[in-house]
Amino acid sequence: MNKVFGKISDFSYFRDEGSRMVVCYGRENVDGTDATWYEVYLPKTQHNSISFEIVKKAIIADINLRTDKKILSGFVWEGINVWLSTENQFNFKAAYDLAIQTQGQSLPVTFKVGEDSEGLPVYHTFTSMEDFTNFYTQAIAFVNQCLVEGWQEKDSIDFDVYQELFPEQVNQEGPVL
């Protein structure tokens, strides 16, 4: 995946670059002559032939990857870039659920919530339900917003364009171009 800034006239939904095939999607015009878009690279060693299904799967996988990356490292809470790995999300939820069930008796609880600009760990101790609820609800809202944006982006792709570019011809070996 690569985000590209270029001339609108340079945008093409698909191009063959010899050793790889490049699928482009998500063009957004910046002004009258420039735009941004995403490119997905399909090495020919993996794809001797290309089909609509391969293109669609590649675009959806690319959007999912960008969504996951945003969830993982895009949440900022009180100036701290919080790492929302699946494991951290689970740990935050388990501790929050326990705090709710015990009416805050399980507090304080300390988490490594991120790293500073020098790569040193940043810890935060949640001492009150108010503080923990603030953090947890913002984290969950962030994850949900990222998911919604990913779904909306996938829903906005006009896959008909790619189906026209890659009309499938089925033979004994499956779809090919």
Pairing relationship of beta strands 2-7 and 174-176 according to DSSP bridges: unpaired
Sequence-ordered list of residues with C-beta below 8 angstroms from that of 95, at least 6 positions apart, any chain: 106, 109, 111, 126, 132
Average pLDDT, the chain: 89
Name the token pair of 173: 């070996």
Listed by start position, the domains of the chain span 1-50, 60-168
Q: How confident is the model at residue 46 (pLDDT cuts 50, 70, 90)?
A: low
Summarised one tens digit per residue, pLDDT across range 104-118 is: 999 999 999 988 888
Q: Is the pLDDT of residue 175 over 50?
A: no
| pLDDT at residue 119, rounded to an integer | 86
Alpha helices, DSSP H only, in the chain?
52-73, 86-101, 129-156, 159-165
Closest CA relative to residue 26, chosen from 13, 16, 41: 13
Indicate yes or no: pTM above 0.75.
Answer: yes
